[in-house]
C-alpha cells in the first residue's frame, strides 16, 4: 500500500493502492467480489438485556465492567435468557469488525468471510443465523466438547456489565478447519486479512499460516493489539506475527503498553507509531501502516515516512450510549475502505464514521444502511 514499488504487475491491490495515493481521482473503488475480506477470531453470541441491581449483586458484577466468566458466573447466561427480555447479536471483536465492514460495503453480500469455533448447541445455531443476517460468510468449526462462546451484556441505565465466556472460541484447531481444502480456498480468495490480537491466545499457528500466505502473495495482513494484556502476556506470540503485519491497529492504552514491553522508552503516541512501523518486516514491498485511536482525541497514522493525525467526528457526550464497540467499528470502517482500495485518508474517514454510528447505540449494532459518502 505504501510500497516503494513502481506500478508493478502484482496482485491488483498493491499496484492500484499505490497509484491511488498519488492520484485518488484516477479510478473508482475496486470491484468487489465475495470473500475479498477475511477475518478469523473468537466468535461470541452477544446476549444483552436490561437487568436489575439484584441480578448484578447476585453475580458480584459491577455496573460498568468487562470480565471473563468464572465458575460463579456459569448459571448467569441461562438465568439472563429465562428471566429477562434478551437480544442476540453475532459478536466477538474480529467478527464485529467484519460485519461492520460488510455493513459499510452493503453490496455485494458476503464480501467478508469469518472463521472461528462454536459449539453444536442452541446458541451456536442462533449465532449462525445472526451472522447470516449481517451478510457475512461465516464458516465455523463446530465441536461438541465446549459450548458456544457467549458475552452477556447486563444493562442497568446507561451502564453495561460485560461477562464473556470464551468456551468454544478457545477450541479452534488449524488442522481441523483452516487446513481443510474447501476452507483454505476461501482464505486464498481474500485480498485483505484481519485478525484481532485476542486470537493470539487461541491459535498462533493458524494466524501464522494466514499471515505468511498474505505476505508471500503481497496481500494485506492487518492485526489489532486488542488489549494491554495481549501486549504483556502474549508478547512472544505477538512478536512472532509482527513481521507479517502490514496494518497494525490499537488504541492509546494498548499502544502505551506495547511501547513499554518493547522498551521504546516513550509514551508519545506518534513516536510509538513511528517505532512500531520500523519493526522488522518480511514483505519489503509494503511499508507497515500503524493506526492508533485515542478516544475523542485525534487518530494517529504512520504511513510511508510520515505521521499524520486525523480529528474524530464531534459528538455531544449525551448522545453517547455505549463505547464498547467503538474500536471494532473503527477497524471495520477502515477495512471497508482498504478492501475497496481507497486512499488511506478515506479509510480513516470511513473508520471514524463507523465508530461514530456505533457509540450512539447499545452494543455493536447499526441502522439498516450507512449514510456515508
Mind listing the domains of the chain with CATH numbers? 37-42+91-148+166-359 (3.40.1190.20)
d(CA 148, CA 81): 15
Q: Give Cα 11 distance to the centre of its chain.
A: 24
345 tagged catalytic? no
**Cβ neighbours around 299 below 10 Å, total:** 22
Residue 129, judged by CB atoms within 10 A of its CB (0-12, 13-18, 19+), counts as exposed
Non-local CB neighbours of 292 within 8 Å, separated by 6+ positions: 249, 250, 251, 252, 255, 269, 272, 273, 299, 300, 301
Contacts 24+ apart (CB under 8 A), 52-56: 52/156, 53/156, 55/79, 55/80, 55/83, 55/84, 55/154, 56/154, 56/156, 56/161
Walking along the chain (373 residues) 10 residues at a time, the average pLDDT comes out as 36 41 44 94 93 95 87 93 92 95 96 97 94 95 96 87 92 98 98 97 97 98 94 96 98 96 96 96 96 95 93 91 87 97 96 94 81 84
- Which entry of 298, 328, 345, 371 is annotated as an active-site residue? 328
Handedness of CA 290, 101, 32, 38 (dihedral sign): positive
| Beta strand spans in 75-136 (E) | 87-91, 112-119
pLDDT at residue number 1: 40
212: its cell numbers: 505468511
CA dist list (Å): 235 to 19, 40, 269, 276: 36, 19, 19, 14
pLDDT at residue number 17: 40
d(CA 294, CA 299): 6
Q: Residue for cell digits 471483536?
A: 93
247: its cell numbers: 496494518
pLDDT at residue number 30: 67
Q: Which residues are 107's β-sheet partners?
A: none
Q: If DSSP codes are grouped into helix, strand and coil, which group holds residue 90? A: strand
- Most distant CA pair in the chain, distance: 64
**Cβ neighbours around 155 below 10 Å, total:** 18
Say if CB 214 and CB 244 are below 8 A apart: yes
CA dist list (Å): 57 to 35, 36, 76: 44, 46, 12
Q: What 3 state SS string does 293-320 have?
A: EECCEEEEEEECCEEEEECCCCCCHHHC
Q: Which residues are 46's β-sheet partners?
A: 89, 151
Residues in the chain, how many?
373
- Tell me the whole-structure pTM to 2 decimals: 0.88
Amino acid at each position: 500500500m505504501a510500497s516503494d514499488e513502481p506500478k508493478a504487475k502484482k496482485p491488483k491491490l498493491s499496484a492500484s493502492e499505490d497509484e491511488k495515493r498519488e492520484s485518488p481521482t484516477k479510478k473508482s473503488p475496486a470491484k468487489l467480489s465475495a470473500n475479498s475480506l477475511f477475518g478469523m477470531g473468537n466468535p461470541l453470541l452477544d446476549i444483552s438485556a436490561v437487568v436489575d441491581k439484584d441480578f448484578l449483586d447476585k453475580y458480584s458484577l459491577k455496573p460498568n465492567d468487562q470480565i471473563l466468566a468464572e465458575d460463579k458466573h456459569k448459571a448467569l447466561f441461562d438465568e439472563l435468557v429465562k428471566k429477562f427480555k434478551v437480544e442476540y447479536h453475532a459478536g466477538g471483536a474480529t467478527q464485529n469488525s467484519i460485519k461492520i465492514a460488510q455493513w459499510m460495503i452493503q453490496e455485494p453480500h458476503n464480501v467478508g468471510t469469518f472463521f472461528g469455533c462454536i459449539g453444536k448447541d442452541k446458541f451456536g445455531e442462533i449465532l449462525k443465523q445472526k451472522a447470516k443476517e449481517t451478510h457475512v460468510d461465516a464458516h465455523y468449526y463446530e465441536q461438541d466438547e465446549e459450548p458456544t462462546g457467549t458475552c452477556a451484556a447486563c444493562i442497568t441505565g446507561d451502564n453495561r456489565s460485560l461477562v464473556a465466556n470464551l468456551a468454544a472460541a478457545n477450541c479452534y484447531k488449524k488442522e481441523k478447519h483452516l487446513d481443510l481444502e474447501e476452507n483454505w480456498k476461501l482464505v486464498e480468495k481474500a485480498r485483505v486479512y484481519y485478525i484481532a490480537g485476542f486470537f493470539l491466545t487461541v491459535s498462533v499457528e493458524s494466524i501464522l499460516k494466514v499471515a505468511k500466505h498474505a505476505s508471500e502473495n503481497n496481500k494485506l495482513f492487518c492485526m489489532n493489539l486488542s488489549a494491554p494484556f495481549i501486549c504483556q502476556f502474549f508478547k512472544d506470540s505477538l512478536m512472532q506475527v509482527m513481521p507479517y503485519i502490514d496494518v497494525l491497529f490499537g488504541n492509546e492504552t494498548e499502544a502505551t503498553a506495547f511501547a513499554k514491553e518493547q522498551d521504546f522508552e516513550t509514551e508519545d503516541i506518534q513516536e510509538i507509531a513511528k517505532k512500531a512501523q520500523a519493526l522488522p518486516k518480511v514483505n519489503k514491498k509494503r511499508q507497515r501502516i500503524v493506526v492508533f485511536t485515542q478516544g475523542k482525541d485525534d487518530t494517529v497514522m504512520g504511513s510511508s515516512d510520515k505521521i499524520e493525525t486525523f480529528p474524530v467526528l464531534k459528538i455531544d457526550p449525551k448522545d453517547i450510549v455505549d463505547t464498547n464497540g467503538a474500536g471494532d467499528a473503527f477497524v471495520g470502517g477502515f477495512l471497508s475502505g482498504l478492501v475497496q482500495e481507497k486512499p488511506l485518508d478515506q479509510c480513516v474517514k470511513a473508520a471514524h464514521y463507523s465508530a461514530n454510528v456505533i457509540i450512539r447505540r447499545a452494543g455493536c449494532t447499526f441502522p439498516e444502511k450507512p449514510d456515508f459518502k
